[in-house]
Chains A and B, each alone.
Chain A
């Protein structure tokens, strides 16, 4: 089945550690996104990528990094520079074609700093 897979579902990080969240899609979508969700904040865009080897900062990129070496994969690294990383992280992908477009989401990763 086509879809987006995020892993792990739950992730615990110690203060000062970097952690990487995985996002893989087999929908052949060009664009991929990372969002952070906090209570009352909605979905805030961290990074997005339209094509392989290219990505753009979203509204809250500080303390995060991404790579897009393959069309299918868009991992997010939460670095130690991110001061408040505890949140729910959602990955999405989309395809744009005039006359048709779609955007799908993974099931999310809950990151907790311990």
Chain B
């Protein structure tokens, strides 16, 4: 069974600094997608970034980038130049096309200090 593990329940960062959130996953499949979602206090889930497993190049979206290590089954999210609006719960997720089962980690609560 596919599982997603986020080992950091809480993280904090100073405004304008960089922070990295960790995610590992377990799968025997080779073709899948990985996601990072942000959940602010409004509780609306917002897609931050996605990564196709067959692509070696790490995905980037403005200040957000990932470090995808397929062999190590690791998918960390780096937030550069952190802003107060980045404060939220961040969830790592896995999706395999064979079952279309979307599996989430338990989340990391990110606090941004002014």
Contact = CB atoms under 8 A, between A and B. Distances in A.
A17 interface: no
A98 B33 CA distance: 9
A43 B4 CA distance: 11
Interface residues of A, number: 28
Given A90-B45, A102-B47, A108-B43, A48 B101 contact: yes
Contacts, number: 63
B35 interface: yes
A16 to B, nearest CB: 28
Main secondary structure of the interface of A (DSSP, over half): strand
A30 B100 contact: yes
Given A31-B100, A101-B50, A103-B35, A88 B95 contact: no
Contacts of A103: 35, 47, 93, 95, 102
Interface of A: 30-31, 33, 35, 37, 40-43, 45, 48, 50, 56, 58, 88, 90, 92, 94, 96, 98-99, 101-105, 107-108
